[in-house]
Amino acid sequence: MKETILTQAGLEKIEAELENLKVVKRKEIAERIKEAISFGDISENAEYDEAKNAQAELELEIDKLENLIRFSKVIEDKDIPEDVVFIGHKVELVNIETKEEEAYLMVGSREADPFEAKISYESPLGKALMGKKSGETVAVHLPSGLTHYEIKGISKQI
């Protein structure tokens, strides 16, 4: 399995999700199975089949999250360089063409969420920004075309 890079906050979010699946969801599905068994013959019991399928899907998701945690690397403050864009940095940009200002938090691919302005270091913009310094200009091939950004600021957010 490929190593996944996470921030501490990202790891904590995954651990909370895993805990919810193990404690809450497992109990809910066990109750559904118990109720379906109470209906009698399980050989032709649609509720039982559905509950068993949900249980199998849940166990797969739990296994997936456990492996994700097992094979993840948490970026710590000491791992983050001060002067270049890296995971855990908030990057302030100016779109050179439109003069619009934008800010993003650089994260691992598992934590990326454009609605929260979190971009993966593996995304086209993330790749273009990684390792660059404040004041530098980057060209990024986006679906809308070639876009140029100036890096206005870099700050640690971990």
- The answer on pLDDT for 156 being more than 90 is no
Domains and CATH numbers, the chain: 4-74 (1.10.287.180), 77-156 (3.10.50.30)
Task: Determine the pLDDT at residue 1.
Answer: 63
| DSSP codes, the chain | ---EEE-HHHHHHHHHHHHHIIIIIHHHHHHHHHHHHHTS-GGG-HHHHHHHHHHHHHHHHHHHHHHHHHTEEE--GGGS-SSS--TTEEEEEEETTT--EEEEEEE-TTT-BGGGTEEETTSHHHHHHTT--TT-EEEEEETTEEEEEEEEEEEE--
- Number of Cα atoms under 13 Å in the Cβ half of residue 121: 18
Task: Determine the pLDDT at residue 43.
Answer: 75
- The answer on pLDDT for 92 being more than 90 is yes
55: nearest Cα among 32, 86, 79, 89? 32
Q: Compute the average pLDDT of residues 8-32.
A: 95
Task: Determine the pLDDT at residue 2.
Answer: 74
pLDDT in tens, 134-144: 999 999 998 88
| ∠ CA 22-23-25, rounded to 5° | 75
